[in-house]
Structure 1
Amino acid sequence: MIGAPLSLPDAPAGHDTARLRDEVRDFLRAEAERGTFEPRVDSWLSGVDPAFSRRLGARGWLGMTWPTRYGGHGRTAVERYAVTEELLAAGAPVAAHWIADRQSGPSLLSHGHEELKKTLLPRIAAGECYFVIGMSEADAGSDLAAIRTRADLRTDGTWLLNGTKMWTSHAHLAHYAIVLARTAPPGDGPRGRHQGLTQFVVDLSSAGVTVNPIRILDGGHHFNEVVFDDVAVPGEMLLGSAGDGWRQATAELVFERSGPERWLSTFRVLALFAESVAKRPEPAALETLGRLSARLLAVRQLSLRIAAALDREDLPDVPAALVKDLGTTFEGDVIDEIRRVTDVHPSADSTDPFARALAEAQLHAPGFTLRGGTNEILRAIVAKGLGL
């Protein structure tokens, strides 16, 4: 990884990604020399640059694992992991295409009808079409089964969508949302609440869609509230089968929770800290660097193994929840532990890159353990999976 202070194992046995990583590093080095981007903390949320996304698409680094007939490149999940890890470690501006490439595309590939796949997947792979996740709601918290957004089937075959989704990253810039809505009453029994849910691909330029900004501590506009008021959704935009939304959405979360973005959001802070320790190797700082480096290596190995599992067409939901819990906890601890042993003062206006990175990380930190499911929900998934 560019600028990495660590010597990291490359990939699970049988996967050689060294040449691919070199290609990505050369590309990033050339981009940096041209001044096309400034490295960012949490760049998969804060770094929006559609032109950069299109350049990645032209390189074949979006839609990497998809079939070529849909604009993909037929490569492995481990190869895709190598590319995304390099981009995140460099703080590259990947936010525009991130959700579409990471999970919306795979959902379309698995559950979309042929015309939907032929229309949307090549555009995503080209870096020209962006998606958001329409799951979370204000009154449901992390309990997806409690959502209130409804879709009612009309006699002409269209669905009428009403409700509000929260924390929809970059909905003000995206083209589509995959929205989870209730289309039938819940059933009886413990799992009855999971019945009657359906996913739809919703054009965000449709009449009745309103996007309201939710600004973070530094005033940045990444999150949104999206209101659907009698939005007409054509029948052909139903994703998968009516009533199968719970199964589809939970399978999608494996892609959302297991990747390197779950432990690399504050990697730039760690890398800059390592550079400062190399110049002034004080005992407390060295101990902190060693401890954080060991934790990074551990969660990275688990995350890499999930990429290898995806190549075997497994969907390891419990390990994915574990990666998200361990990884986002680590991201926050990077900030706290480094601040204890450094005299660098976080400042967004500083000329010191380390001070700016610390400030940016602190302002983004409240979202680390929330997006993609709270730690409490994730730990419940892991406990249940282990039979506890």
Structure 2
Amino acid sequence: MTSLLSTLSLAGIPPEDEALRAPVRDFLHSELRDYPPHLRARSIGAHDAAFTRALGAQGWIGMNLPEDVGGAGRSHFARFVLTEELLSFGAPVVAHWTADRQTAQLIARYGTPAQRARYIPGIRAGEIVFGIGLSEPDTGSDLASVRTRAVPTATGWRINGRKIWTTNGHRASHMCALVRTSGTAEDRHKGLSQLIFDMKTPGISTRPILNIVGEEEFCEVLFEDVDVPADALIGEEGDGWKQVTAELAFERSGCERIYSSVVLADIWLDEMRALENPPQIVVDMAGRIAGRLSVLRAMSLGVCACLDAGQNPELEASLVKDLGTEFEQEVPNWIAEANASIPGFRPSRELALALAYVTQYAPVFSIRGGSRHIMRGMIARGLGLR
């Protein structure tokens, strides 16, 4: 525990990054002024290509990439402020989410100059939308059991296999996939590489998967003799696992693992403020939400400071992700409990729709980016407990 506490310390947002908050709010109120509250509660799963392009036009996608690779050279704190505002407002974020948070960082760190020139401008403009090919059928959360294989050809690589639970893979223009380029599944982390390719490449097909709330958010992606060029390889052959673990620290550490239920909480609080004499359970639940959110936000900012210092806070990010998604899942339960305790209370249509959606969707929170059991195993190893 000493190691964790020594690296995850309190951190504040620098003034130059905090200054980003006001223009982002102005942009959101202008761009999404007619967006109803119950749709804003779906932010974390909402895909809107036009909104993503508008966000890109502001220079707010990939802005914390170094300037020498095509970024704006802003800090991770700047991205934190942007993300916090997007999720607090309930903006549709999915179209740029993966590329901004993970794939652009991967390309900036491991890509060749030609790869950076090819992808980063399109990512920053909101024109290139990435899906991540990690999970596979019949392997659960065991990410290392990759069976999708890429074999070398005279011109590059030929891919065969399947990926599953790819968020918006059927809407993505490109994919970054973890594939086996040598050895077998029993070799675990060895022999894995990452390839980036166009989703229109012949031999790729997608099968959307209907989620519990009736949306086609995920899909299965099939590869049948898919030929990609040699420069589809990102980084060194066989270094895929090292690259993926670095990427997942970006995915697991931000406020996107804390704020998935925050719009619902705001809708509920607005209605509770309208009550003449709210019962004590309402006050208690509001305090519980605020207290937990405050601590988790401070932890997420601590991870942000680690990333800004060039560290790889895998353990710390896993802890924030586990605690954050637990909080996200509890919020709709707390609100439902409070509502049931208010005599004669009838929620508005907006609150009822938002609560129903988040309650059904909440099981996803602790699965995406690594299941709760995987996170806790990583935390235990990082703390020397296993």
TM-score, normalised relative to structure 2: 0.91
Matched, 1:216 2:211: yes
The answer as to whether partners of 2:147 and 2:184 remain within 8 angstroms in 1 is: no
The 2-side partners of 1:229 and 1:376 are apart by 32
Change (3 A) 1:13 1:115: closer
**Residue type of the alignment partner of 2:169:** A
Change (3 A) 1:153 1:247: same
The 2-side partners of 1:174 and 1:64 are apart by 21
The residue number in structure 2 matching 1:72 is 71
Post-superposition offset of 1:276: 2.3
Aligned runs of 1:152-191 on 2, under 5 Å? 152-154=151-153, 156-185=154-183
The answer as to whether partners of 2:18 and 2:78 remain within 8 angstroms in 1 is: no
Aligned runs of 1:276-291 on 2, under 5 Å? 276-280=271-275, 281-291=278-288
The 2-side partners of 1:152 and 1:341 are apart by 57
Unmatched 5+ residue regions in structure 2?
1-9
**Residue type of the alignment partner of 1:295:** R
The 1-side partners of 2:183 and 2:43 are apart by 40
Larger RCO (alpha carbons 8 Å, 6+ apart): 2
Matched, 1:378 2:363: no
Post-superposition offset of 1:334: 0.3
Change (3 A) 1:71 1:274: same
The answer as to whether partners of 2:173 and 2:199 remain within 8 angstroms in 1 is: yes
The 2-side partners of 1:54 and 1:317 are apart by 31
The residue number in structure 1 matching 2:139 is 140
The residue number in structure 2 matching 1:91 is 90
The 2-side partners of 1:124 and 1:344 are apart by 48
The 2-side partners of 1:215 and 1:344 are apart by 34
The residue number in structure 2 matching 1:4 is none
**Residue type of the alignment partner of 2:234:** L
Give the share of equivalent positions with the same residue, in percent: 42
Post-superposition offset of 1:37: 7.1
Describe the SS at the equivalent of 1:356: helix
Of the three residues 303, 307, 310, the one matched with 2:307 is: 310
Matched, 1:249 2:244: yes
Post-superposition offset of 1:15: 4.8
Post-superposition offset of 1:67: 2.8
Length, aligned pairs only: 369
Q: Cα RMSD between the aligned structures?
A: 2.0
The residue number in structure 1 matching 2:113 is 114
Describe the SS at the equivalent of 2:258: helix
The 2-side partners of 1:22 and 1:126 are apart by 21
The residue number in structure 2 matching 1:12 is 12
Post-superposition offset of 1:288: 1.2
The answer as to whether partners of 1:165 and 1:225 remain within 8 angstroms in 2 is: yes
The answer as to whether partners of 1:134 and 1:168 remain within 8 angstroms in 2 is: yes
The answer as to whether partners of 2:253 and 2:318 remain within 8 angstroms in 1 is: yes
The 2-side partners of 1:338 and 1:284 are apart by 10
The answer as to whether partners of 2:281 and 2:341 remain within 8 angstroms in 1 is: no
Aligned runs of 1:358-369 on 2, under 5 Å? 358-369=355-366
The 2-side partners of 1:139 and 1:372 are apart by 17
**Residue type of the alignment partner of 1:241:** E
Post-superposition offset of 1:40: 2.0
The 1-side partners of 2:185 and 2:179 are apart by 15
**Residue type of the alignment partner of 1:24:** V
The answer as to whether partners of 2:206 and 2:220 remain within 8 angstroms in 1 is: yes
The 2-side partners of 1:244 and 1:69 are apart by 24
Post-superposition offset of 1:32: 3.4
Matched, 1:354 2:351: yes
The residue number in structure 2 matching 1:3 is none
Post-superposition offset of 1:14: 4.2
The 1-side partners of 2:243 and 2:108 are apart by 12
The 2-side partners of 1:44 and 1:276 are apart by 23
Post-superposition offset of 1:235: 0.7
Change (3 A) 1:14 1:101: closer
Q: After superposition, what is the alpha-carbon deviation per residue over 1:161-220, rounded to whole angstroms, capped at 9, x for unaligned? A: 0111111111111111111111111599xxx52111111002111111010011112210
The residue number in structure 2 matching 1:330 is 327
The 2-side partners of 1:251 and 1:282 are apart by 46
Describe the SS at the equivalent of 1:368: helix
The answer as to whether partners of 2:146 and 2:185 remain within 8 angstroms in 1 is: no
Post-superposition offset of 1:147: 1.4
**Residue type of the alignment partner of 2:155:** G
The residue number in structure 1 matching 2:7 is none
The residue number in structure 1 matching 2:231 is 236
Unmatched 5+ residue regions in structure 1?
1-9
Q: After superposition, what is the alpha-carbon deviation per residue over 1:25-78, rounded to whole angstroms, capped at 9, x for unaligned? A: 111122233x36764224132x21111111111111111111335442111110
Post-superposition offset of 1:286: 0.9
The answer as to whether partners of 1:153 and 1:159 remain within 8 angstroms in 2 is: yes
**Residue type of the alignment partner of 1:193:** R
**Residue type of the alignment partner of 1:245:** G
**Residue type of the alignment partner of 2:131:** V
The answer as to whether partners of 1:63 and 1:124 remain within 8 angstroms in 2 is: yes
The residue number in structure 2 matching 1:298 is 295
